């Protein structure tokens, strides 16, 4: 009997330990995996793409808003929502904390199978201190503002004041403690620290404290970094430096970088970066979630102060890496033309691409394909996503999508609306969710690429590892589709993934693909003259398997001459090629 009891207790202890280890693995905190110049979030032990959207600033401020909006986002096909948590709601009275708004976000995200990126609207939101609590705003003696050259205070808290930092950090750390203790299911996967930091009206704070520091020696932390990384610095900072290394402590900001407003911006950047570092470092000691900052762009020929000066801009990345090493990524918010150019500026060898905000438009569907397929983006998130319709516009005889109430829009799969075509973003997100594991497997490899076509760039090429040239043109180039004769063609895009030798998937819309030998490729075998289409089929990809929806060997491929997904149609197609003489 004693032996049986002893063995029983050993068995129970064994299973208890196994269960504990499984629990630990299950609840291991989300992390950011870096792979060269790209990165991805891992949550619940699995890598993921943030196929997401960001809520409007006040769209998660009440339970009613959160319940309505999150259900809609689930129907749109998102797996991630970027949601603000505001200081004024977290600490309405100084020292008294209320996590109700945060709990609402977490609970409704779980109900709707969404991961959450929390946006901390603390001391600054779009430069201004508009989401700080009223007790903070009114006490300008304890919590001073930044100043203009003529001594005028602006509605922006000082980035150099200890009281501002201490209060902001205290509230931020309370949030991190709450997440550590409450969010065992890893619903929250990343944190944005502040929002679009930068000085408006002036290039830097001209208060007495700030001016004294500006005229003092550049901190040794920065001069040592510049000296050590001189050959790796962003070209902008390299060009701004007036002295050669080693950079000694006697250099002040103007003697090191020059006497102009752009040096003032560099100084202001340093004050923001070191402030953010103190929040992020303290928060990560409590609960080590990935953290990032986002940026309002320096576009349209504006100067520092006309755009938010000192923010996490690409040309100032060295200031942020040195001053805020606890920040993982500078995220780019895109509301300007030149999408490809902005992606190139922010996808750097030392900065993986993340698009936490972009203007909400139908063409975001095409932009998402290009970001994930060409740049290996961590995530793509149109702003104010809760305002985007579930269904595409109907014909003039029917109701448009916007004629439907939001409650009706949520009925994505009801019998009444099942035949209505989904809107562009919803259509592409549905396909991206299917293809997510395939995309993740191919990130950073030559087995995946993407093209983005528009009115001015109607053709692109991809050379595959098989020595095949895939020429991708806008589907309007065939002249068959309605709209082909229009003066302006809509954006079109696709991701092409190689499954095996001469075996591919294409995911997209508005494209036509032809195939030919890439004679310069070492994979090309001499003597092979032509490439043909062995097979093409429209598919769903679910649970690791392809399910054929339609075989496409006739008119849909022009009898084998091309692969085509027309404008307004959103598909994954599987095709195999072969060589013949």
Q: What is the pLDDT of residues 286-317, one digit of tens each?
A: 999 999 999 999 999 999 999 999 999 999 99
Token pair for 228: 């050590």
- Range scoring the smallest mean pLDDT among 266-280, 342-356, 394-408: 394-408
The separation between the first and the last C-alpha atoms of the chain, rounded to the nearest angstrom, is 81
pLDDT digits (tens, 9 = 90+) for 502-526: 999 999 999 999 999 997 766 666 6
Give mean pLDDT, residues 224-231: 94
pLDDT attached to residue 233: 96
pLDDT attached to residue 404: 38
- The pTM for the full model equals 0.91
Domain boundaries, the chain: 22-204+264-387, 390-422, 445-580
pLDDT digits (tens, 9 = 90+) for 158-181: 999 999 999 999 999 999 999 999
| Model confidence at 563: pLDDT above 50 | yes
> Rounded CA gap, 189 and 177, in Å?
15
| Model confidence at 20: pLDDT above 60 | no
pLDDT digits (tens, 9 = 90+) for 321-331: 999 999 999 99
Residues 6 or more apart in contact with residue 146 via CB below 8 angstroms: 153, 154, 156, 157, 158, 159, 199, 202, 205, 206, 207, 210
Domain 22-204+264-387 has CATH 3.40.190.10: no
| Model confidence at 248: pLDDT above 90 | no
Residue 289 three-state SS: coil
Write the DSSP assignment of 396-441 as a string of letters.
TTS--GGGS-HHHHT-TTSTTTTTSPBPHHHHHHHHHHHHHHHHHH
> Same CATH fold, 445-580 and 22-204+264-387?
no
- Give me the CATH topology for the region 445-580: Chondroitinase Ac; Chain A, domain 3 (2.60.220)
Percent of all residues in the chain with a pLDDT value above 70, rounded to a whole number: 89
pLDDT attached to residue 249: 63
Give mean pLDDT, residues 49-60: 96
CA nearest neighbour of 278 among 310, 308, 212, 323: 323
pLDDT attached to residue 316: 98
| Model confidence at 243: pLDDT above 50 | yes
- Range scoring the smallest mean pLDDT among 89-103, 230-244, 492-506: 230-244
Contact 295, 332 (CB under 8 A): yes
pLDDT attached to residue 21: 44
Q: How confident is the model at residue 564 (pLDDT cuts 50, 70, 90)?
A: very high
> Rounded CA gap, 269 and 264, in Å?
9
Task: Decide the pairing of beta strands 50-54 and 545-551.
Answer: unpaired
H or E stretch including 175?
Answer: helix 162-182
pLDDT attached to residue 416: 40
pLDDT attached to residue 399: 32
| Model confidence at 50: pLDDT above 90 | yes
Residues 6 or more apart in contact with residue 51 via CB below 8 angstroms: 77, 78, 79, 80, 368, 379, 380, 429, 432, 433, 436
Contact 454, 491 (CB under 8 A): yes
> Rounded CA gap, 566 and 358, in Å?
25
> Rounded CA gap, 282 and 288, in Å?
10
DSSP-assigned letter for residue 387: G
Q: How confident is the model at residue 251 (pLDDT cuts 50, 70, 90)?
A: confident
pLDDT attached to residue 396: 37
């Amino acid at each position: 009997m004693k032996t049986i009891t002893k063995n029983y207790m050993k068995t129970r202890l064994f299973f208890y330990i196994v269960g504990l280890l499984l629990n630990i693995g299950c609840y291991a905190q989300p992390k950011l995996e870096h792979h060269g110049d790209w990165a991805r979030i891992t949550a619940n032990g699995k890598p993921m793409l943030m196929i997401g959207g960001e809520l409007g600033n006040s769209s998660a401020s009440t339970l009613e808003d959160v319940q309505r909006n999150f259900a809609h986002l689930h129907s749109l096909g998102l797996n991630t929502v970027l949601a603000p948590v505001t200081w004024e709601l977290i600490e309405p009275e100084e020292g008294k904390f209320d996590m109700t708004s945060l709990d609402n976000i977490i609970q409704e995200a779980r109900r709707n199978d969404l991961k959450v990126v929390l946006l901390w609207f603390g001391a600054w939101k779009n430069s201004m201190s508009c989401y700080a609590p009223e007790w903070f705003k009114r006490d300008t003696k304890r919590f001073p503002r930044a100043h203009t050259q003529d001594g005028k205070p602006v509605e922006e808290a000082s980035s150099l004041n200890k009281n501002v930092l201490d209060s902001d950090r205290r509230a931020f750390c309370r949030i991190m403690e709450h997440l550590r203790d409450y969010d065992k299911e890893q619903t929250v996967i990343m944190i944005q620290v502040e929002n679009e930091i930068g000085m408006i009206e002036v290039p830097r704070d001209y208060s007495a404290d700030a001016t004294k520091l500006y005229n003092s020696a550049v901190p040794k932390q920065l001069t040592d970094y510049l000296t050590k990384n001189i050959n790796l610095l962003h070209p902008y900072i390299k060009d701004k430096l007036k002295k050669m290394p080693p950079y000694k402590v006697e250099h002040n900001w103007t003697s090191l970088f020059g006497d102009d407003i752009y040096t003032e911006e560099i100084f202001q950047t340093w004050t923001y970066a070191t402030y953010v570092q103190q929040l992020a470092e303290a928060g990560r000691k409590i609960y080590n979630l990935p953290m990032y900052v986002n940026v309002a762009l320096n576009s349209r020929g504006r100067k520092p102060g006309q755009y938010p000066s000192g923010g996490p801009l690409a040309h100032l990345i060295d200031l942020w890496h040195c001053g805020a090493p606890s920040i993982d990524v500078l995220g780019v918010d895109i509301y300007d033309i030149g999408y490809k150019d902005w992606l190139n500026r922010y996808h750097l060898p030392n900065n993986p691409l993340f698009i936490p905000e972009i203007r909400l438009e139908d063409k975001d569907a095409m932009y998402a394909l290009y970001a994930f397929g060409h740049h290996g983006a961590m995530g793509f998130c149109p702003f104010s996503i809760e305002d985007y319709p579930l269904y595409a516009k109907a014909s003039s005889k029917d109701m448009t999508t916007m004629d439907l109430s939001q409650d009706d829009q949520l009925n994505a799969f009801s019998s009444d609306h099942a035949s209505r075509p989904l809107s562009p973003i919803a259509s592409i997100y549905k396909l991206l969710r299917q293809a997510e594991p395939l995309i993740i497997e191919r990130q950073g490899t030559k087995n995946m690429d993407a093209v983005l076509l528009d009115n001015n760039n109607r053709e692109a090429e991809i050379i595959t590892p098989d020595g095949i040239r895939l020429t991708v043109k806008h589907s309007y180039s065939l002249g068959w589709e309605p709209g082909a004769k229009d003066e302006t063609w809509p954006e079109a895009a696709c991701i092409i993934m190689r499954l095996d030798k001469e075996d591919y998937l294409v995911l997209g819309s508005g494209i036509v693909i032809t195939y030919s030998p890439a004679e310069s490729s070492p994979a090309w075998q001499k003597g092979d003259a032509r490439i043909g289409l062995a097979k093409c089929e429209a598919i769903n990809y679910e649970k690791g398997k392809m399910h054929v929806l339609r075989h496409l060997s006739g008119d849909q491929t022009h009898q084998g001459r091309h692969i085509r997904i027309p404008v307004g149609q959103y598909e994954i197609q599987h095709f195999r090629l072969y060589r013949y003489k």
